[in-house]
């Protein structure tokens, strides 16, 4: 009887652990999920399947190192709105558990507030998250995959995403 | 007799399930008939096969080899006159997931929406659907069926690049 209770306890603990992990992963997912159908927002989503397909395509016009960077990405999600941007910026900061992330770049000026944070494990960056606010817009952007910051900073200059230009300031790996 | 009832019921249910049309078919059939001024193009597998044979001199190897793998193309260009309602677009987007389509990318700005989805069917049969819905209800419906492999995608890409460089010259 005691061993049966013991087994149930282990199963319950494992389930609680799994649920906890799920909840951590879903912090951003929930934010995206909440506003994905909201017409005040512009939403861009590129799925893991699309990145897998891109990995199989032979691109001659793009330098090999940048191609490799893109093929290691798993998903991209962007949420942006010009409607009450400060309110959504505050909500994002409150909802996303910043303890899970390491601060990379913070730009704070009169007109702009930009945070680049990363989720790192075993020396590999698995997520790059940008939370940006300027006078007119709030933008939340999440890249998931094996991320090479050096190459991402090169890619950032060709992306027309507000706040993304700040990534070029990231220190290059030696 | 009772023993036979269950298998018969199962067969009937299976056949009725097979007869069900997909959400894409229902959407296409509804709006191809209602679109008077709108563009509506459907290309059958037979036509695709003939086009591949008759055009093989003009279409060089690489492009021809993936073109013949396209078995069906359906295109609807819908204007606001008899456009689907926001609900109908939304139902279509939702039901594609039930039909085992996976999202490749999506962009939504306000009520305008663009979505590319794909589904892997039996063997190497793949379906690609591109939907663009505007705020006024008008939009674009493009549905491809074909036996594509990853190598074919690569060939499509190089065929497009070749075409672009010829235009540039």
pLDDT reported for residue A44: 92
pLDDT reported for residue A131: 93
The answer to whether A47 contacts B102, with C-beta atoms less than 8 Å apart, is yes
Share of chain B above pLDDT 70, in %: 54
Q: Is B136 on the interface with A (CB under 8 A)?
A: no
Residues B145 and B28: their CA atoms lie apart, in Å, by 14
pLDDT reported for residue A115: 92
Q: Name the pTM for this structure.
A: 0.70
Helix ranges restricted to H, chain A = 2-35, 48-56, 64-71, 85-95, 149-156
Residue spans of the domains in chain A: they are: 25-169
- From the CA of B82, how many Å to the nearest CA of chain A? 23
List pLDDT tens digits, range B22-34: 888 888 888 876 6
Helix ranges restricted to H, chain B = 2-19, 23-34, 45-54, 61-67, 86-98, 150-168
Which residues of chain A does B112 touch, with a Cβ-Cβ cutoff of 8 Å?
none
Residue spans of the domains in chain B: they are: 22-168
Hey, what are B97's tokens?
A: 């997931």
The answer to whether A58 contacts B154, with C-beta atoms less than 8 Å apart, is yes
Which residues of chain A does B108 touch, with a Cβ-Cβ cutoff of 8 Å?
36, 41-43
List pLDDT tens digits, range B103-158: 988 999 988 889 999 898 887 788 889 999 888 878 888 898 888 776 666 666 56
Q: A-contacting residues of B 112-131, CB under 8 Å?
A: 116, 118
Hey, what are B131's tokens?
A: 């939907």
A46's CB contacts (< 8 A; 6+ apart) are: A75, A76, A77, B104, B105
């Amino acid at each position: 009887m005691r061993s049966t209770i013991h087994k149930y306890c282990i199963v319950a603990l494992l389930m609680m652990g799994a649920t906890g992990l799920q909840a951590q992963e879903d912090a951003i997912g929930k934010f995206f999920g909440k506003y994905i159908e909201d017409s005040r927002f512009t939403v861009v989503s590129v799925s893991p399947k699309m990145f897998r397909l891109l990995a199989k395509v032979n691109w001659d016009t793009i330098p090999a190192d940048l191609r490799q960077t893109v093929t290691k990405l798993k998903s991209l999600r962007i949420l942006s709105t010009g409607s009450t941007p400060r309110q959504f910026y505050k909500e994002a900061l409150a909802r996303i558990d910043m303890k899970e992330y390491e601060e990379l770049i913070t730009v704070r000026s009169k007109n702009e507030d930009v945070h680049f944070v990363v989720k790192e494990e075993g020396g590999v960056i698995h997520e790059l998250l940008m939370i940006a606010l300027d006078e007119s817009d709030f933008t939340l952007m999440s890249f998931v995959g094996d991320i090479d910051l050096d190459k991402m900073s090169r890619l950032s200059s060709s992306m027309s995403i507000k706040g993304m230009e700040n990534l070029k300031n990231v220190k290059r790996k030696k | 007799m009772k023993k036979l009832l269950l298998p018969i019921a199962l067969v009937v249910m299976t056949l009725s399930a097979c007869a069900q049309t997909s959400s894409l078919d229902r959407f296409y059939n509804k709006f191809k008939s209602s679109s008077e001024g709108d563009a509506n193009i459907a290309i059958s597998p037979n036509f695709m096969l003939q086009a591949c044979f008759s055009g093989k001199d003009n279409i060089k190897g690489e492009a021809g080899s993936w073109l013949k793998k396209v078995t069906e193309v359906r295109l609807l260009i819908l204007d606001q006159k008899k456009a689907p309602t926001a609900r109908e677009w939304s139902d279509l987007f939702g039901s594609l997931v039930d039909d085992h389509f996976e999202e490749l990318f999506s962009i939504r700005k306000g009520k305008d929406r663009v979505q590319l989805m794909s589904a892997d069917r039996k063997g190497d049969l793949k379906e690609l659907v591109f939907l663009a819905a505007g705020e006024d209800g008008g939009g674009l419906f493009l549905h491809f069926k074909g036996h594509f492999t990853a190598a074919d995608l690569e060939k499509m890409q190089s065929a497009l690049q070749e075409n672009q460089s010829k235009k540039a010259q």
